[in-house]
């Protein structure tokens, strides 16, 4: 059950990362890369990427024990 929650969280995070990245590109194109709103969006994207990295690290633990949380 916990494994399924991790898989779901991974899928949600990947979708959020994609949307945030696209939003940041649009904002940067309109406002410039150094605009405070673009920087804030970039920091939000960094936070999502850090969360994803933590889940992937957990995946490595599961793989070590013969299970994978990312086989979907």
Q: Each residue of 13-55: pLDDT tens digit?
A: 999 999 999 999 999 999 999 999 999 999 999 999 999 999 8
The parent domain of residue 48 ranges over 2-64
Residue 72 lies in a domain: no
In a domain, 33, yes or no: yes
Is residue 21 included in any domain, yes or no?
A: yes
Listing DSSP states for the chain in one string gives: -HHHHHHHHHHHHHHHHHHHHHHHHHHHHHH-TTSHHHHHHHHHHHHHHHHHHHHHHHHHHHHHTT--S---
Domain count, the chain: 1
pLDDT band at 10 (very low <50, low <70, confident <90, very high): confident
Whether residue 70 is contained in a domain is answered as no
Residue 28 counted as domain residue: yes
The pTM of this model reads 0.78
Tell me, yes or no, whether 41 lies in a domain. yes
47 part of a folded domain: yes
Asked if the structure places residue 10 within a domain, the reply is: yes
């Amino acid at each position: 059950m916990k494994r399924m929650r991790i898989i779901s969280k991974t899928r949600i995070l990947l979708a959020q990362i994609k949307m945030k990245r696209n939003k940041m590109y649009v904002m940067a194109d309109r406002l410039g890369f150094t605009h405070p709103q673009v920087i804030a969006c970039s920091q939000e994207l960094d936070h999502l990427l850090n969360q994803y990295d933590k889940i992937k690290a957990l995946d490595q633990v599961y793989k070590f024990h013969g299970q994978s949380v990312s086989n979907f």
